[in-house]
């Protein structure tokens, strides 16, 4: 478990799930993971928020994991894989853990139960029951603006004592809470920031890494920012952040991951920008803004090469 925890650092990609004509687009998925396996990422999250995981059938989730595992292996990259699972009833999530025990994954990413608004005692009991049952270590996912209830830091610190709870994807959107948790967490409990627009602040405060949708674009720049922060080169890190800060907001102008999928389809990384209802593709107004930004960044990249 100690070795496993050490994998929770650096830049992780919450991979989008490509679709075409309503079905999983395996050809695009293969090209997508080949594309990113050649880039400086340290891990991949599958079937979570950015991957529209709650719209995937269990057969589709299994295919996503299988395809990505095979392509990562073929690329010779020892990238850890994390599977997002979610739901309301603890018993349903235990069933999901049983279903995926033999899957070739390294971690689970599990958020608080949405809608039911459990107490902190309920959250403690819920995650403890899951951790007691899990065959793979759990990364907690604190995202109260989606789940309606957040995990308080005191609850988080109690959960951090469990040997099967390895860390946190922090999307609390509260800088004070993030900084307090980083200051108080035990050394073995890893914190990965997942709030794209606030990620630079969290990294400067001592987060171990980041899980960023925005890193589908400008991947090398995001990876360099993390390296510079880790090595204490704060001026270089700030300069890199200045290049991508606006991007972290643009990609969330409309519900994610539709803007990122539009960008990836327009640049030929995937075949289609299709999302699944109740998600819809980007509006014409945002599409025009994204096209303009694509043209600008393409021209900047070409000028650097020249």
Backbone angles phi, psi at 203, to 5 degrees: -65, -40
Q: Give domain status of residue 196, yes or no.
A: yes
Q: Kindly report, residue by residue over 178-210, the tens digit of the pLDDT.
A: 999 999 999 999 999 999 999 999 999 999 999
Q: Known catalytic residues? A: 141, 169
In a domain, 290, yes or no: no
Q: According to the model, what pLDDT value does residue 206 have? A: 97
Please report whether residue 260 resides in a domain: no
| CATH code of 224's domain | 3.20.20.70
pLDDT at res. 6: 87
Read off the pLDDT of residues 226-252 as tens digits, 9 standing for 90 and up: 999 999 999 999 999 999 999 999 999
270 annotated ligand binder: no
Query: Is residue 302 in a domain?
Result: no
Cα–Cα distance for residue pair 200/303, rounded to 1 Å: 26
Residue 170, strand partner residues: 142, 193
Burial state string for 277-304 with b = 16 or more CB within 10 A and e = fewer than 16: eeeebbeeebbeebeebeeebeeeeeee
Residue 267 lies in a domain: no
**217 domain residue, yes or no:** yes
Predicted TM-score (pTM) of this structure: 0.96
Position 256 in a domain: no
pLDDT value of residue 305: 66
Give me the number of domains the chain comprises: 1
Residue 208 domain boundaries: 2-234
Any domain includes 137:
yes
Helices (H), the chain: 2-6, 26-37, 58-75, 90-99, 120-133, 144-147, 153-159, 175-184, 199-205, 219-230, 234-250, 258-266, 284-305
For 39, the token pair is 């880039």
211 labeled binding residue:
yes
Parts of the chain with a pLDDT under 50: 2
Question: What's the pLDDT at 306?
Answer: 60
Nearest to 271 by CA among 7, 29, 10: 29
32: left (phi over 0), alpha (psi -120 to 50) or beta: alpha
In percent, the amount of the chain with pLDDT more than 70 equals 98
Report the relative pairing of strands 165-170 and 190-193 from DSSP bridges.
parallel
**Coil, strand, or helix at residue 43?**
strand
| 6-to-126, 187, 191, 209 alpha-carbon distances in Å | 25, 11, 11, 11
């Amino acid at each position: 478990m100690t070795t496993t925890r050490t994998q929770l650092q650096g830049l992780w990609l919450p991979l989008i799930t490509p679709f075409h004509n309503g079905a999983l687009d395996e050809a695009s998925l293969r090209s997508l993971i080949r594309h990113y396996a050649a880039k400086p990422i340290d891990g991949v999250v599958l079937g979570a928020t950015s991957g529209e995981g709650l719209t995937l059938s269990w057969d589709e989730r299994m295919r996503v994991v299988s395809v990505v595992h095979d392509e990562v292996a073929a690329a010779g990259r020892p990238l850890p894989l994390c599977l997002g699972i979610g739901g309301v009833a603890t018993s349903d999530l235990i069933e999901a853990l049983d279903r995926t025990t033999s899957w070739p994954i390294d971690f689970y990413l599990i958020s608080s139960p949405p809608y039911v608004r459990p107490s902190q005692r309920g959250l403690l009991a819920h995650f403890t029951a899951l951790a007691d049952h899990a065959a793979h270590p759990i990364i907690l996912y604190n995202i109260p603006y989606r789940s309606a209830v957040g995990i308080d830091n005191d609850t988080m610190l109690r959960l951090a004592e469990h040997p099967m709870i390895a860390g946190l994807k922090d999307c609390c959107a509260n800088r004070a809470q993030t900084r307090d948790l980083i200051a108080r967490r035990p050394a073995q409990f890893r914190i990965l920031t997942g709030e794209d627009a606030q990620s630079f602040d969290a990294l400067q405060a001592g987060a171990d890494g980041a899980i960023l949708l925005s890193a589908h674009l400008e991947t090398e720049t995001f990876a360099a920012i993390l390296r510079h922060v880790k090595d204490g080169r704060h001026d270089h890190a700030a300069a890199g952040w200045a290049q991508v800060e606006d991007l972290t907001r643009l990609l969330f102008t409309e519900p994610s991951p539709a803007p990122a999928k539009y960008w990836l389809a327009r640049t030929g990384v995937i075949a289609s920008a299709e999302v699944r209802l109740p998600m819809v593709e980007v509006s014409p107004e945002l599409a025009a803004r994204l096209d303009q930004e694509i043209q600008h960044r393409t021209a900047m990249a070409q000028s650097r090469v020249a």
